[in-house]
Amino acid sequence: MDQTRAPFFERMQEFAASDAVMFSTPGHKRGAGLDDAGRALFGDALSVDVPHGGGVDTPHFSWGLLRQAERLAAEAHGGADARFLVNGSTTGNLAMLLATCNPGDEVIITRMLHKSLLAGLVFSGARPVYLKPAIDRAHNLPLDTSPGAVAEALRAHPRAKAVVLVSPSYVGVTSDLASIADICHAAGVPLLVDEAWGPHFHFHPDLPQSAMASGADASVSSTHKMLGALTQGSTLVLREGLLDIERLHTVVDMVQTTSPSVLIFGSLDASRRQMALHGRQLLFQALEMARQVRDEVGDIEGLSTVGPRLLAGRPGADFDITRVLVDVHELGLTGYEAEEILRDEHGVMVEMSDLMSVLFLITIGDTASILRLLAGLEALPAHRKPGHGASLPRSTGELLFAGEIELTPREAFSADTERIAPEAAAGRISAESITPYPPGIPIITPGERIRAEVIDYLRAGVEAGMYLSGLSDESFASLRVVR
Ligand SMILES: Cc1ncc(COP(=O)(O)O)c(C=O)c1O
Distance from Cα 97 to the centre of ligand 1, integer Å: 15
Give the percent of the chain with pLDDT over 90.
Answer: 83
> Is the model's pLDDT at 394 over the cut of 60?
no
Q: Inform me whether the pLDDT recorded for 395 exceeds 70.
A: no
63 close to 52: Cβ distance less than 8 angstroms: yes
Res 138: pLDDT: 81
CA 207 to ligand 1 centroid distance, Å: 19
Residue 88, ligand 1, Cβ within 6 A:
yes
Q: Where are the domains of the chain?
A: 7-275, 279-383, 409-482
Q: Whole-model pTM?
A: 0.96
Q: Is residue 331 packed enough to be buried (19+ CB in 10 Å), middle (13-18) or exposed (0-12)?
A: buried
CA-nearest residue for atom 7, ligand 1, is 89
* Ligand 1 atom showing the smallest separation from residue 169 Cα: 1
234 lines ligand 1 (CB under 6 A): yes
Interval between CA 111 and ligand 1 midpoint (Å): 15
pLDDT value of position 58: 66
Query: What number does the ligand 1 atom closest to the CA of 93 have?
Result: 4
* Ligand 1 center from residue 193 Cα (angstroms): 12
For 401-459, write each residue's pLDDT tens digit.
Answer: 667 899 999 999 999 999 999 999 999 999 999 988 766 778 899 999 999 999 988 88
Residues 342-357 pLDDT 10s? 999 999 999 999 888 9
pLDDT in tens, 312-344: 999 999 999 999 999 999 999 989 999 999 999
Taking domain 7-275, whether its CATH number is 3.40.50.720 is answered by: no
Cross-strand partners of 441: none
Ligand 1 and 169: CB distance under 6 A: no
Between 460 and 126, whose confidence is greater?
126
pLDDT digits (tens, 9 = 90+) for 167-207: 999 899 999 999 999 999 999 999 999 999 999 999 999 99
* Residue 219 to residue 193: CA distance in whole angstroms: 5
Give 29 Cα–ligand 1 centroid separation in angstroms: 32
- Give the closest residue (by CA) to ligand 1 atom 1: 114
Mean pLDDT for 218-235 is 98
Half-sphere exposure of 456 (CA within 13 A, CB side): 5
Checking if the pLDDT of 277 tops 90, the result is yes
Task: Name the residue among 43, 59, 53, 32 with its Cα closest to residue 262.
Answer: 53
How confident is residue 140, by pLDDT bands cut at 50, 70 and 90?
confident
The larger pLDDT score, comparing residue 58 to residue 1, is at 1
CA of 36 to the centre of ligand 1 (A): 34
**pLDDT tens-digit map of 54-109:** 778 765 556 789 999 999 999 999 999 999 999 999 999 999 999 999 999 999 99
In this predicted structure, the answer to whether residue 398 has a pLDDT above a threshold of 70 is no
Does the Cβ of 89 fall within 6 Å of ligand 1? Answer: yes
Q: Is the pLDDT of residue 36 over 80?
A: yes
- Contact, 24 vs 51, CB < 8 A? yes
Report yes or no: 144 and 317 within 8 Å, Cβ to Cβ: yes
Task: Give me ligand 1 centre to Cα 21, in Å.
Answer: 37
Q: 450: which DSSP letter?
A: P
User: Which DSSP string do the residues of 396-447 spell out, in sequence order?
Assistant: -TTTTT-S-B-S-HHHHHHS-EEEE-GGG-TTSBBSS-BEEETTTS-SB-TT
Ligand 1 neighbour 357 (Cβ under 6 A): no
**Helix, strand or coil, per DSSP, at residue 240:** coil
Architecture of domain 409-482 in this structure: Alpha-Beta Complex (3.90)
Q: Which CATH class is domain 279-383?
A: alpha beta
Residue 293: the pLDDT is 98
CA of 166 to the centre of ligand 1 (A): 10
pLDDT value for 438: 66
Q: Which of 85, 87, 90, 433 to mutate for ligand 1's pocket (most ligand atoms within 8 Å of CB)?
A: 90
Which atom number of ligand 1 is nearest to the Cα of residue 194?
Answer: 3
